[in-house]
Structure 1
Amino acid sequence: MTDSTLQAIPRRTGKLQRIRGSTSLLLGLLILLVIVICAILASWLFPGDPREMVSAPNLWPGSNPSYPLGTDMMGRDVMAQLFYGARASLAIGLIATVLALVCGVLIGVVSGYFASTWLDDVLMRVTEVFLTMPRLLFAIAIILALGPTLFSLSLALGATSWPQIARLVRAEAMKIREQDFIRAANTLGLSHTRIIFRHVLPNSVTPVMVAASVLIAQIILSEASLSFLGLGDPSLVSWGGMVGSGREVLRTAWYMAALPGLAIFITVMSFMLIGNGLNDLFNPRLAIRK
């Protein structure tokens, strides 16, 4: 066993101990795991179309054992819609986050590596243009142009979320490019592309892991807002759409809006807890204390 391997063992052990000691990270992962299981088991527990009428309308939760969370004004099973809504929210959140990360990380690392050059100026001006646009209005414009589908929702939310990732990665890349090993790579004549993707990028993405968990929570909230406004995919059941439908009977059957709203809240909180836990995990000051 080499010396480097022996030195890596305490670091890995210390990180595992910090993971086990992070209540917010473990709680967030546990909640998210439950939500993912619900999304996976939706078609098995509730076969058929969740938008079909299955019983009398406006059944309150607990009034019929066959439908524990009741039915909506159309006689559709609320529990089935919640399970299928988890699929839509997680799918759109994941796809849009991946699009935002790919675009933001690439632009940020290139801009940071070539800081104070014309390329950096162009990329940052484009980023600032996107930052000054109202995110929700820009997303609505994209959806209206492409039509309300899963792809257009993901594209619209991803296209409006990458600038903050780009600025974060740019700041990290600017720090990394001043390190001695980057200067040594330049001295050896390595190409800019190789230096960026082999050295700068791997050392710049650690803060992105924390930002990604917060970003996916923001995207899920934005998707719920768009679905609430009637801009969601009509072929999918979404929590935002359920809240939008439930507002019509808010005084007489508040549970129709409250239950999907609670699902959105729990899901967003799980990602925020994960983000806080990851921030503690990658915080060097906290690591030194522990």
Structure 2
Amino acid sequence: MTGASAYPAAPAMITDRMAVLRRNWRRVLHNRAATIGGAIVLFWLCMALMAPFLAPYSPTAQRVANRLKPPNAQHVFGTDELGRDIFSRVLYGARVSLPVALAVVAMSGALGVLLGAIAGYTGGLLDEIVMRIADAVLAFPSLILAIAITAALGPGLQNAALAIALVLWPEYARLIRSQVIALREMEFVSAATALGATRRRALFKHILPNALPLMLVKASLDMGNAILLTASLSFVGLGAVPPTPEWGAMVAAGRHKFFEWWLAAFPGLAIFSAVVGFNFLGDGLRDLLDPRMSRRG
């Protein structure tokens, strides 16, 4: 009887979950920042996925006879000093910048959350060591430290991504540490511990799931920061290696050509729009996940 009575409740549970999903979806649509940011991010994700089908030319094919052509019917964004189509390179640049930014956020977030959560929950000497290392990293400007690490490792997108991750992890560590310290004193954690939950289970099963929404907001905001830092390293020659179509390297190629404005303008606009999109999305997610932070009026 008990097993049979459980089955009629399943459709009701599914209906309740669908109602929650619809309610959350309406909240997203009514949040202007989340809607605009999500649309911009979705646009660039589609451009990155569809680049092989949308790009009219190869991003690395050189046509010297067409070098430095302004925007026209054949090349809507013009061509660069080697005759390469800038529109095609901007599209393929999304396939470089977005995955690198995602890898940076994943590495820095995983490292920072792990160290910060363990340090905040255990306290003592381990907490002191982790936080002092984080303070030492945060004492340096992010870009300068990333340049120094990448210069030591050698140019390349992989080394640039690793360097940026090593620069950004302390922010996650400090943020998650403060959340863990606040949550570990809550009643539901004390109840779980009283019922026999180990320290590891209390941390990873009860505390971290309640702190992760804030990490999601932080990660979405850091996607824009990671795109900027990657472009900056490529701009100074420490990121993408030619002929990789990366937005920062494309801006660097046109920085001395004032009259050929299209060389830097279009990849620069791509960087600007992608960063704004992720910032708007993060701002909207913050409002949705934390009603106390929502705007009024």
> 1 CA distance for matches of 2:215 and 2:89?
33
Residue 284 of structure 2 corresponds to which residue in structure 1?
Answer: 277
Q: What is the CA distance between 1:154 and its match in structure 2?
A: 1.0
- Check conservation: 2:286, 2:293, Cα contact below 8 A: no
Residue 149 of structure 1 corresponds to which residue in structure 2?
Answer: 156
Query: Which of 60, 69, 84 is residue 70 of structure 2 equivalent to?
Result: 60
Q: What is the CA distance between 1:8 and its match in structure 2?
A: 6.4
- How many residues align? The count is 285
The letter for the 2-side match of 1:34 is F
Query: Which of 156, 181, 187 is residue 180 of structure 1 equivalent to?
Result: 187
- The reply on whether 1:247 has 2:255 as its aligned counterpart is yes
Residue 29 of structure 2 corresponds to which residue in structure 1?
Answer: 20
> 1 CA distance for matches of 2:46 and 2:16?
38
Pair 237,185 (structure 1): closer, same or farther in 2 beyond 3 Å: same
- Check conservation: 1:109, 1:166, Cα contact below 8 A: yes
Query: Which of 65, 83, 88 is residue 96 of structure 2 equivalent to?
Result: 88
Structure 1 segments unaligned to the other structure (5+ residues): none
- The reply on whether 1:193 has 2:193 as its aligned counterpart is no
- The reply on whether 1:108 has 2:116 as its aligned counterpart is yes
The letter for the 2-side match of 1:100 is S
Q: What is the CA distance between 1:66 and its match in structure 2?
A: 2.0
Q: C-alpha deviations, 1:57-105, integer Å up to 9, x for none?
A: 111112xx22111101221111011011111110110000000110111
The letter for the 2-side match of 1:201 is L
> 2 CA distance for matches of 1:8 and 1:68?
47
Residue 38 of structure 2 corresponds to which residue in structure 1?
Answer: 29
The letter for the 1-side match of 2:68 is N
> 1 CA distance for matches of 2:60 and 2:260?
18
SS at match of 2:256: helix
Instruction: State the TM-score, normalized to the length of structure 2.
Output: 0.88
The letter for the 1-side match of 2:113 is V
- Check conservation: 2:58, 2:88, Cα contact below 8 A: no
Q: What is the CA distance between 1:155 and its match in structure 2?
A: 0.5
> 1 CA distance for matches of 2:19 and 2:126?
42
Aligned Cα RMSD in Å? 2.4
Q: C-alpha deviations, 1:165-214, integer Å up to 9, x for none?
A: 11111111111101112112222332211111111111111111111111
> 2 CA distance for matches of 1:112 and 1:284?
25
Equivalent residue runs for 1:133-172 within 5 Å: 133-172=140-179
The percent of aligned pairs where both chains have the same amino acid is: 37
